[in-house]
C-alpha cells in the first residue's frame, strides 16, 4: 500500500488531536445538577414505559387475529412506528442533561410502570384494552414529571413531555373508541 505523504507518523496536529480528550467542562445550561439528575431519572422512566409499550404494540401487530385483523394489524403498525420514533428524542434529552440513557431489558424491567407484554397473545379486544391502559400509563408517567421541568425552567423537556402527552392521550381515545358499541 502506498504511503500517504500527508500523514507523517508524528505531527503537531496529531498530538493536538489527542490532547483534546480529557475532562470536558461542567454542564452549565442554567439548570442545577440536582434538577438535571431528577429530570433525567423521570425521563428514563418515560423511556422505559415508551419502549415497553412499543414492544407490546409490535407484538400485537404480529399476533393479532380475528375479523378486525386488517384494521388492527395496520393500526398497530402505525402506533409502534410512532413509539419507536419517540424513544430516540427522549434518550437524547437525557444525554443532553448529562446522564446515561437506559437501554437494556434489565433496566427497563426495573424502571417501567407498564407490565411486560403477555406471554400468550390475547384476543383482539383484550389487546386493545391492554394498549389503552398502556397509553394512559405512559401519559401518567410523563405528567408526573412535568412539574419538575417547570420548576427547573427546563423548556425542552416540558415541550417533549407535552408532545408525548398529546400523542398518548389521543391514541388512548382512538383505541377506546374501538371498544364502544
Ligand atoms: Fe409487519
Task: Please give the distance, rounded to the nearest whole angstrom, from the Cα atom of residue 54 to the centre of ligand 1.
Answer: 13
Ligand 1 midpoint to CA 101 (Å): 28
- The per-residue pLDDT for range 39-54, each reduced to its tens digit, is 999 999 999 999 999 9
What DSSP string describes 88-129? HHHHHHHHHTTSPPP-SHHHHHHH-SSPPPPSS---HHHHHH
Ligand 1 geometric centre to CA of 59 (Å): 10
Distance in Å, CA 62 to ligand 1 centroid: 7
CB neighbour list of residue 24: distance below 8 Å, 6 or more residues apart: none
Q: How far is the CA of 27 from the centre of ligand 1 (A)?
A: 42
For residue 3, the model assigns a pLDDT of 44
In whole angstroms, what is the distance from residue 91 CA to residue 157 CA?
11
The tens digit of pLDDT for each residue in 124-156 reads 999 999 999 999 999 999 999 999 999 999 999
Q: Which helix (H) or strand (E) holds 36?
A: helix 33-63
Of 1.20.1260.10, 1.10.3720.10, 3.40.367.20, 3.40.50.300, the CATH number of 59-179 is 1.20.1260.10
Instruction: Report the separation in Å between the CA atom of 91 and the middle of ligand 1, taken as the mean of its atom positions.
Output: 25
Nine cell digits for residue 78: 402505525
Contacts of 121 (CB under 8 A, 6+ apart): 59, 60, 63, 64, 65, 127
Threshold 0.85, pTM exceeds: yes
- pLDDT, tens digit (0-9, with 9 covering 90-100), for 93-123: 999 999 999 999 999 999 999 999 999 999 9
Range 154-161 average pLDDT = 98
Say how many Å lie between the CA of residue 174 and the centre of ligand 1: 21
Domain boundaries, the chain: 59-179
CA of 141 to the centre of ligand 1 (A): 28
Amino acid at each position: 500500500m502506498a504511503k500517504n505523504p500527508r500523514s507523517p507518523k508524528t505531527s503537531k496536529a496529531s498530538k493536538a488531536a489527542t490532547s483534546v480528550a480529557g475532562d470536558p467542562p461542567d454542564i452549565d445550561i442554567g439548570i442545577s445538577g440536582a434538577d438535571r439528575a431528577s429530570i433525567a431519572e423521570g425521563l428514563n422512566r418515560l423511556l422505559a414505559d415508551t419502549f415497553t409499550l412499543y414492544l407490546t404494540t409490535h407484538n400485537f401487530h404480529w399476533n393479532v387475529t380475528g375479523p378486525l385483523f386488517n384494521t388492527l394489524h395496520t393500526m398497530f403498525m402505525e402506533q409502534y412506528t410512532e413509539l419507536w420514533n419517540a424513544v430516540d428524542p427522549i434518550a437524547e434529552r437525557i444525554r443532553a442533561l448529562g446522564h446515561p440513557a437506559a437501554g437494556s431489558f434489565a433496566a427497563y424491567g426495573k424502571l417501567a410502570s407498564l407490565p411486560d407484554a403477555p406471554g400468550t397473545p390475547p384476543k383482539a379486544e383484550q389487546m386493545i384494552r391492554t394498549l389503552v391502559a398502556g397509553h394512559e400509563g405512559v401519559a401518567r408517567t410523563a405528567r408526573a414529571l412535568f412539574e419538575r421541568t417547570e420548576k427547573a425552567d427546563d423548556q425542552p423537556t416540558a415541550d417533549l413531555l407535552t408532545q408525548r402527552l398529546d400523542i398518548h392521550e389521543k391514541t388512548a381515545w382512538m383505541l377506546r373508541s374501538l371498544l364502544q358499541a
